[in-house]
Amino acid sequence: MEYRNIAIIAHVDHGKTTLVDGLLKQTLKLGHGEEIAERAMDSNDLEKERGITILAKNTAVEYKGVKINIVDTPGHADFGGEVERVLGMVDGCLLLVDAAEGPMPQTRFVLRKALELGLKPIVVINKIDRQDARPEEVVNLTFDLMAELGANDDQLDFPILYAISREGKAFKELDNPRDDFQELFEMVLEKIPAPVVDLEAPFQMLVTNLDYSEYLGRIVLGRVQRGQVKKGEFVNLMHKDGTMSKTRVVQPFTHLGLRRIEVDTVGAGDIVALAGIEDAQIGETIADLADPEALPIITVDEPTVSMTFQPNTSPFAGKDGKYVTSRHLNDRLKREVMTNVSLKVEEVRPDEFIVSGRGELHLSILLETMRREGYEIQVGSPQVIIREIDGEKHEPVEHLVVDVPEQHASTVIGVLASRKGQMVNMEPQGTRTRIEFKIPSRALFGFRTQFLSMTQGEGIMSHIFDGYAPWAGEIKVRQNGSLVSMEDGPAFAYSIWKLQDRGSFFIDPATEVYIGMIVGENAREQDMNVNVCKNKKLTNVRSSGADEALTLTPPRRLTLEDALEYISDDELVELTPKNIRLRKKVLNPSMRK
């Protein structure tokens, strides 16, 4: 059988997952009668809720007797580890670019990785039905970006398609639209090279992803580089430390649509799954028993942000969660590191772990997943990972792109300059302005909320790790102190009403609070201890109009990301399956002083 292996790469929200849905619908309806749901590739609950792809996933379609393996990759730079390892499995890529937005920071990131691996892109200008679409200009911007990233002549001579993925259309010429993806399929067969297949050579496959099944245990995914392997056959698993272990392939699978299909043999050129190889880690080689030969290990960019994870120690610990001890936490983090290649975990003390990842979003997705699984954890504020280069302190820097209504541009520039951001480019686009900055990663902690209020919810921002630069000095990210509870018990509406002019609250009346729990944000710089557990003293001497209704300002509801952005160095976020609370590291007010 003939194969084509392609990855779909793009900036977040440019339509990768929607395109894959369309490809699946058009081929499976024809051949297999399988119904496809909206955004079928985003299988994880968090992906469905947030509308983003977190895990790289693969599927396959058949067209004119050729099997096309498709890998849908995340657009967020925080999940770059996912992108880097899957690009090694493919021979070409579809680069999706929004017809209005043009190339964005993550487009640059994923494209650079693809070009370095020598992949030839097919450029798909998507969403050409948008009112502000400018397809011709976006093609030129994409060409400029490729030239800037050092693409060779072959890569620069890229084929172009125009698409409306939502409607399942792609075509070569703007003035000759079609109603299906036929021209896209034809172009993949014509332009993407078929893998070199040698079925007689000794078996060799690199593990690029791991999955788990209740019945079969660990499942390894990857592309077979050469040879073939049969069900029940023994193979060598070649570990990263140079050792080898003999293991048996219990069941090989291949993909079609959203299903894994059990087969007796899998061979070179295909992207497959093997069950039964229990100790495999990402980046290791599964090789022939008689003639084992290792493939190069996958390297992934280093983490840039870290947080401390601890089991919950607050007075409310153990009320909501199933897993509350440091042993539970340790086991869960060890399991995560096996599949999450760009994550690092270091045990500092028996009950304290430093977890490092590619960004705040990367770590917050892990926290949200653990919380839903029944873990109780408390985490410190995100910290950037500092490096010593030539005896000088260097910190991670981001390339930030903001797209704002023109009347808000000067305010945004002012705030980013105060956070040590350097403007590198600015271009007006109709009634909006796009501005690019180089800015220290830590300056962006807590910025998103402020950015949305400055631009009245109309601003779009995206950023990507750009390398290390000398330490930029002190950056004041948070202007206000916290309102901290000085009593245990339920909060009363009366005391919240009395304290409303002191700041904004995060809690409702009747919320249970403890000493040292953060209940709101102070209007001033310092922290302030408040008593929200005091009710109105009722006497029997009272005029009829004295008990007027209390009008309370609705509390600020903090999401997990908001909470992580809000806390300062002496504060923690306490996460349980039912609650997100903020607290001081030292609960007792007299000890805090």
**Burial readout 175-193 (b: 16 or more C-beta within 10 A, e: otherwise):** eeeeeebebbbebbeeebe
Q: Is 128 a known ligand-binding residue?
A: yes
- Output phi, psi for 109, to 5 deg: -65, -55
Nearest to 73, CA basis, from 82, 81, 61: 82
User: How far is 462 from 399, CA to CA, in rounded Å?
Assistant: 8
User: How far is 451 from 319, CA to CA, in rounded Å?
Assistant: 36
Paired tokens of 573:
């976020």
User: How far is 400 from 502, CA to CA, in rounded Å?
Assistant: 35
Q: Is 132 a known ligand-binding residue?
A: no
Residue entry with tokens 């849905």? 21
- Contact 132/100 with Cβ under 8 angstroms? yes
* 19 φ/ψ sector (left φ>0, alpha ψ -120 to 50, else beta): alpha
Q: Is 438 a known ligand-binding residue?
A: no
Nearest to 230, CA basis, from 274, 281, 184: 274
Please report how the helices 409-418 and 447-454 are oriented relative to each other, as an axis angle in degrees rounded to 10. Answer: 160
Q: Is 14 a known ligand-binding residue?
A: yes
Please report how the helices 135-148 and 105-116 are oriented relative to each other, as an axis angle in degrees rounded to 10. Answer: 50
- Output phi, psi for 528, to 5 deg: -140, 130
- Contact 61/76 with Cβ under 8 angstroms? no
Q: Is 17 a known ligand-binding residue?
A: yes
User: How far is 204 from 286, CA to CA, in rounded Å?
Assistant: 6
Q: Is 313 a known ligand-binding residue?
A: no
Q: Is 126 a known ligand-binding residue?
A: yes
User: How far is 434 from 448, CA to CA, in rounded Å?
Assistant: 16
Paired tokens of 235:
């193979």
C-alpha distance across the termini of the chain, in Å: 73
Torsion of CA 442, 524, 537, 514, to 10 degrees: 20
Q: In this structure, which amino acid lies at residue 256?
A: L
Q: How far, CA to CA in Å, does 127 sit from each of 53, 141, 166, 362? A: 19, 16, 8, 28
User: How far is 269 from 319, CA to CA, in rounded Å?
Assistant: 52
- Output phi, psi for 415, to 5 deg: -65, -40
Paired tokens of 326:
């440091």
Q: How far, CA to CA in Å, does 422 sit from each of 1, 93, 437, 448, 472? A: 54, 33, 5, 18, 11
Q: How far, CA to CA in Å, does 468 sit from each of 385, 410, 427? A: 10, 27, 26
- Contact 514/533 with Cβ under 8 angstroms? no
Rg (CA), the chain: 27
Number of H helices, E strands in the chain: 14, 36
Q: Is 15 a known ligand-binding residue?
A: yes
- Per the annotation, binding residues for GTP are 13-18, 126-129
- Per the annotation, binding residues are 13-18, 126-129
